[in-house]
Structure 1
Amino acid sequence: MNELLVDRKDDGVVLITLNRTDMRNAMTDTMTAEWRAVMAELRDDRQARCLVVTGAGSAFSSGGDLSWIGERGTEAVPRLRDRMLAFYRTWLAITELEIPTIAAVNGPAVGAGLCVALACDLVYAADDAKLLAPFTSLGLHPGMAATYLLPKRAGARLAAEMLLTGRTVSGREASDKGLVNQSFPKNHLMSETEAIARKIAQNAHCHAPHQSSPQPRPSRPGSRADVGIPGSARDHGLRRHDRGPDRPSGKAHAQIHRLLII
């Protein structure tokens, strides 16, 4: 069974469905590996114009599959940290795509699952969807860039309340408070979201010319860069690697490093 369903439509819209309904679409090792592969494919897909991510069944995602933490209780902290960093970077790779990205939050979006939704450029939710970040109540440091994405979307006060208390926010309240772009009745969520995605894809009406030799690619029409949208979490330092003279240093580098630490 594929834990990610990928539907490439003729109009350039790509629909990814998290498909592990027996675990409420928890982000398992298998799903994470499939996500990594799909993100790599989409980076080079010149036909893709917009990406929509949603969940199968009644949930968007219940977050990371934490079962392995108990199984690895005797493992050294540095190895556990490296594993978590790899997990975060794999899922946050959605911020590296050139095409606009949309989350359709059809049901509960919990912890890391909520963060992946918030990492998209646009977020739409069912009115009765439940959004929560219960890291602290589970004895975990808020990971998956939660301490960046939540205040970026909805401001510091709501972010602090959600992170410190773990309280649940409905899709309707999330829309009222700016955590998501808009909420819809659950039965209308996908049709409304797909209509928005089609509009975005239609705006990207031109194809960049094919290049036979490796060269820096121009931004594709309708991409983030083409319409002036920053690359979300990526451009704010959630991706840390050696970049020669542009590599952040000093205080900025320390801040980036802290965002990635669990």
Structure 2
Amino acid sequence: MVYWEHGGRDLKAPLAMEAAFSDAHTDDERRIRALIAENNAQRATKLEQELFKQRTRLADAERILESKATKAATENKRIASDKIDAAVRRLADLKRMTLKDADSRIYPGWYAPVMIVQDGRRVVVPMRYRCRLPGWTEQMEREKPGTYNARRDNLRRVWGKLFGYNHGIMVVTRFYENVNRNGKNVVLQFDPTPPQQMVVACLWSRTPIPGEPDLWSFAAITDEPPPEVAAAGHDRCIVPIKPENVDAWLNPDPSDLTSLYAILDDRERPYYEHRMAA
């Protein structure tokens, strides 16, 4: 649906989500596969143009440095080299057939599969991982870019038009967080022990945009962290709900928020091992 509506325009999505359509069996799946291929061709063209631009920048900087070491030329050489390496890696990823663990990772602003209930049926919808709240404009969203997390203590106030109405779940095997270590930002990877799939509680929104496809977007609910996450330096944590509570979560009753809070409280509580993210 998202690929149809966007007509193959560049969408940020994990490679693993797109790879699911490589073995297409139905006409709909083949159409999505074709749109993904079109999207990837556009990405490759942009990356090749970026490579040409940065290689030219690098050559110019090196030519200047041959006669005189300047700060500007040194910086241009460093930046161009970094951007060349990044573009080469991304081009290789577009051609790579074997998936890696990192291919399932999502970032704020990327699309990810979210399960919701529509017309009494469970469906999976690709949604952007940063929620545009009801009534918000694009400008308002830019001013408050942190809405990929829905804090549990703000569910009634900030998220009141979605909490009790638009509930979803996302299945993950780990999560990542930015942590300050000695004045520097580092990214930590948190893995549940023992390894397991976690059903993360989410809220979602569908925003009509005149002249464009509707924007489907979501946020993961977060709460105070367990001791091991707090000790690692982070103050929030996703909320993995129990499988037996999934149906009640996906079919919320806005007149009984107490029961919904009880689902969030009666969560899975694995121990999270952490390490530096690759």
Which bracket does the TM-score occupy, shorter chain normalised?
under 0.3
TM-score normalised by structure 2 residue count = 0.25
Q: Which has the higher strand share?
A: 2
Task: Tell which structure's C-alpha radius of gyration is larger.
Answer: 2
Which structure exhibits the higher relative contact order, with contacts defined as CA atoms closer than 8 Å and separated by 6 or more residues?
1
